[in-house]
Each structure stands twice: as structure tokens, then as C-alpha cells.
């Protein structure tokens, strides 16, 4: 791809959209300029364009993204075959186990939910396709990080320094690298209240027919449903059955 084929304006607009996060949903022009690395005048033009097209609201000082922005993500998910393939299997798995199940993909240092079958609400936030969580402290994130080379996994962990979400969250890079080695060897990951107090989960990688890990599957449940040591006995085999089915379906 040649540099002259790249639309600089589009790239700048996308960097402005990506500057908005769950922690920073309301930002001034200066805030967006600092977060995106664009000069203030460019950030201002991009924000005003988004507001003009209905993708952002502007109160005279602060900008916030509007629900219209979800059209971009919804369009992306609608074109992906993975959600359509996994949803019936997730529904069946959740009905069988009586617990919530999800499939996510890895996007740099975060996981993105692409499908979910909820038996009950297991987190204080509402999880749905498009929801994002840090990869380092989630069971699905860890199985996907473990599928990378050690160098790639370390680079991702260091690119966004881990921040503790609960008193149980492991944030030390070397400790996380050791955990990923264990996950790589055993083929599954367990999380005990590292994402949110009261939540445990188990995840397995989802590979295609060529053996490349492209996603992860998990079961999440409240701590009063099962001890952490029971998750493998209770849920691993049914999850591995779905894992095998998906591998045969994904090219």
C-alpha cells in the first residue's frame, strides 16, 4: 500500500473517535487533541464534523459521542461470520450449564465481546456485543494473550500498563507472563475476582481449522455458584466440546 493512497483526514477522524473511552466519555477539544496526538485546530475540525453528522453532541465546551456511533460497530459485527456461528452454540451451552457464556476477540490490549448468552447478570456493567474489557485480567484475554508469542504478549502488556480493578487483580508484568505460560500449557484460564469482586470465570481459546487462535470462549458466574477449584471439573469438558465444534466450522 502506497502512502499516497491513505486518506489522512479519515485517519485523523478515526483517531478522534478512538480518543473517547469509558473513562473519558466527555471531552473538550484540548482533551481530544492531547489524547489523539492531533493539533488543536485539527481536533476541533474533526469534532465539529462528527457533531454536524450526528455522531457527537457538543454543549459549547464538551463533546460526547452519540448512539449513532454504534452504527459503525454494528455494521462491523454484522459482516463478521463469527458471531452468527457461535451464538447458537453459546445459547445451547448456557442452557446446558445454567451459566452465562461469551465469545470475544482480541483488539490490542483489550477483548471485544462479539457474542453472549446471558443466564443472569454477572457484572455490574451490562455486557453485550461490542463491550470491551482489559485483556490482562480477563479469562478470555489471557487465553488469547497466551496464544501469542512471549514477545508479542509482553509488548501488549507493556503497551497499556495494567491497572488493578479489584484487590485481587494481578498487575505485575512478570507474574502475568508466568500465568500466561501456565495457561499456554494447560489450555484454559481461570479468573477469580480480578475483573470484578464476586465474579469468577473460565475460558478456552477458539481456533480455526488451521489451528490459529482467533477468539476465546468463557463461562462467567458469581462466586457463590462454585469455588474456583471446581470450575474445571464443572465446565471445562462442555466448553471443550463447543471449542471442537467451532474449530471444525471455522476455516
pTM for the complete prediction? 0.73
Contacts of 62 (CB under 8 A, 6+ apart): 26, 27, 28
- Residue 201 cell numbers, joined: 470465570
Counting Cβ atoms within 10 Å, is residue 39 exposed (0-12), middle (13-18) or buried (19+)?
exposed
SS (H, E, C) 74-141: HHHHHHCHHHHHHHHHHHHHHHHHCCEEEEEEEECCEEEEEEEECCCCCCCCCCCCCCEEECCCCHHH
Whether 129 has a pLDDT exceeding 90, the answer reads no
Q: pLDDT tens-digit profile of 59-102? A: 999 999 887 776 676 555 555 677 888 899 999 999 999 999 99
Mean pLDDT for the chain overall: 89
Whether 8 has a pLDDT exceeding 70, the answer reads yes
Domains present along the chain, CATH in parentheses: 3-71 (1.10.10.10), 80-249 (3.30.450.40)
Q: CA 29 to CA 62: how far, in whole Å?
A: 7
Q: pLDDT tens-digit profile of 189-228? A: 999 999 999 999 999 999 988 889 999 999 999 999 999 9
| pLDDT class of 52 with cuts at 50, 70, 90 | very high
Q: Which helix (H) or strand (E) holds 22?
A: none
Amino acid at each position: 500500500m502506497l502512502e499516497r493512497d491513505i486518506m489522512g483526514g479519515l485517519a485523523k477522524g478515526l483517531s478522534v473517535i478512538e480518543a473517547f473511552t469509558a473513562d473519558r466519555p466527555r471531552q473538550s477539544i484540548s482533551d481530544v487533541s492531547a489524547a489523539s496526538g492531533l493539533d488543536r485546530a485539527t481536533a476541533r475540525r474533526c469534532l465539529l464534523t462528527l457533531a454536524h453528522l450526528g455522531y457527537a453532541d457538543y454543549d459549547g465546551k464538551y463533546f460526547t459521542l452519540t448512539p449513532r456511533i454504534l452504527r459503525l460497530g454494528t455494521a462491523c459485527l454484522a459482516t463478521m461470520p463469527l458471531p452468527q456461528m457461535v451464538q447458537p452454540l453459546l445459547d445451547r451451552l448456557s442452557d446446558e450449564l445454567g451459566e452465562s457464556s461469551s465469545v470475544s476477540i482480541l483488539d490490542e490490549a483489550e477483548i471485544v465481546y462479539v457474542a453472549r448468552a446471558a443466564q443472569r447478570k454477572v457484572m455490574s456493567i451490562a455486557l453485550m456485543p461490542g463491550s470491551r474489557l482489559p485483556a490482562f485480567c480477563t479469562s478470555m484475554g489471557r487465553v488469547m494473550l497466551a496464544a501469542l508469542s512471549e514477545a508479542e504478549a509482553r509488548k501488549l502488556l507493556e503497551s497499556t500498563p495494567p491497572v488493578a480493578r479489584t484487590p485481587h487483580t494481578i498487575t505485575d508484568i512478570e507474574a502475568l507472563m508466568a500465568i500466561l505460560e501456565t495457561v499456554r500449557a494447560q489450555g484454559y484460564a481461570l479468573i477469580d475476582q480480578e475483573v470484578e469482586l464476586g465474579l469468577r470465570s473460565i475460558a478456552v481459546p477458539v481456533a480455526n481449522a488451521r489451528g490459529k487462535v482467533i477468539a476465546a470462549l468463557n463461562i462467567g458466574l458469581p462466586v457463590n455458584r462454585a469455588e474456583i477449584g471446581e470450575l474445571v471439573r464443572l465446565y471445562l469438558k462442555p466448553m471443550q466440546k463447543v471449542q471442537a465444534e467451532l474449530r471444525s466450522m471455522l476455516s
